[in-house]
Chains A and B, each alone.
Chain A
Amino acid sequence: MDRNQLAKWFQAPTKMAHKYSLHAVYFCTGCGIIEVPPVITARWDAERFGVIPTATPRHANLFLITGYVSVKTLRAIIRTYEQMPEPKFTVGFGSCPINGGMYWDSYNTIKHLDRYIPVDGWIAGCMPRPEAIFVAVTHLWTLIDKDMADGYKRYRTNYAAYRANQERALGELEWPPLFPMERGR
């Protein structure tokens, strides 16, 4: 850590803490999960960047959505996302969450992920390489620095729109809305 970093640290310690300890919740949502184990183990070792897989959403603040999202997985993703404590960041992994990717005409996959939960960063590529994941992590650092990684704030402000989309895709949801639905959309 060179000199000017230290100045930035003391000026905003919380931001530094969020940057260098991104605990990712371990949830294999799609085919992209095959690139995550090499990243967290010896060869690529994401722990240098402070990215450690955790067991429960409660401990995590980074949510990696790896690969395509089927309808049934979307329900689990929304629940996991809502269980994570507040400053949380999501990264869409691979081309399938962006626009449906290779399964654009499949009746069971979700086409645009950011219509259901806010996404802070995207990694392109059908199975992005481990280096692409590190580029995404460092990019997330700069976003956090400039306070642009505000997915969770967006989720809070227009929650009504997100909830409406979720219900449109999944039909009736069996858990109560997270935030009070102040503006019915």
Chain B
Amino acid sequence: MARIHWRYGPPLYQPLIDILRLFTQRGVSHGRLFDLGMVLSLAGSLVVVLFLPFGGISPMSGSGGLLVVLYMMLLMPLGIALSGGEAANPNASIGISRKLILAMGYEVPLLLILLAVMTHYGSISIAEIVSAQRRTGASIASVPLVLSGIAYVLIMPAMLGVRPFEVVQAPQEISSGPMAEYGGAYLALATVQHALSAFIAISLFVNLLWGGASNPAVFFLKMLVVFVLVLFVNAAFPRLRVEQAVRYLWRWPSLIAFIGLILVVVVGR
């Protein structure tokens, strides 16, 4: 990111230093619900990470992987909303309403994409989908799924909360939204949770649509490529308003995902 801005930028391990510093700061708690919400959203994202196969290792993706992932994905915005609301900061409450609207915005196309992938491979366990792809080549290459692949790429910035859709943590407008009241250790947990949700979104993309990977190294490489691409998008666009973002999300990606779904059903039979 710094390179795009023509500047030298911090060393690579800067986020680690930030997290370490935050842990050592004495945060201010706003009551029990505040802490509970935090833990809830962190737990949600941790569980989801367990379900996603990371290269060869897939700890718990026995059965029903996709459905669990879908269910858990909603837990994260809920957790943040719960704790943000408790913090009684007007910026936080506006941030939460934006976060939920945005989550609703990208859930619709996401559902359509996952449905398309499931019907195409006829199974809901991610591991099987990955192994199926190894036989027939990456699913994004196969004709019907290319549309849902494109739709996924379009909603990727929204899921990561990155620039064109950085509506939730808009620092300039509502001073970093729901995170406004988090200090010290809470902020550390929140940043970790944000990083995890980014990890989930990208690994879901790589697993389902880009054919997963046999060993973690290749998988990590693919994720890096996707992340850098999203960063380029982030650097080039301003921030949209909430209603503009949702209007965009519901118009183009959902349309493409829907056509993809129909295509899969027609071709599949």
Contact = CB atoms under 8 A, between A and B. Distances in A.
Are A and B in direct contact (Cβ within 8 Å)?
Answer: yes
Interface of A: 13-14, 16-18, 20-21, 23, 41-43, 45, 47-48, 50, 54-56, 58-59, 61, 84-87
Contact of A55 (B10, B24, B180): B180
6 contacts: A14-B21, A18-B24, A41-B7, A47-B10, A59-B183, A61-B21
A20 B17 contact: yes
Contact of B21 (A21, A43, A54, A56): A21
Contact of A50 (B7, B10, B181): B10
Contacts of A16: 17, 20
The 7 residue pairs across chains A and B that have the minimum distance between CB atoms: A58-B183, A17-B21, A55-B175, A17-B20, A86-B26, A85-B25, A55-B171
Contacts of A87: 24-26
A16 B5 CA distance: 27
B25 A21 contact: no
A59 B22 CA distance: 8
Contact residues on B (Cβ < 8 Å of other chain), bracket = 20 to 34
A13 B179 CA distance: 26
A86 B182 CA distance: 13
Contacts of B171: 54-55
- Among A13, A18, A42, A59, the one with the most B-chain Cβ atoms within 10 Å of its Cβ is A59
A58 B8 contact: no
Nearest to A59: B187
B21 A47 contact: no
B184 A85 contact: yes
Contacts of A13: 20
Given A17-B21, A47-B7, A50-B17, 6 more contacts: A17-B17, A18-B21, A45-B2, A50-B14, A56-B91, A58-B187
A46 to B, nearest CB: 10
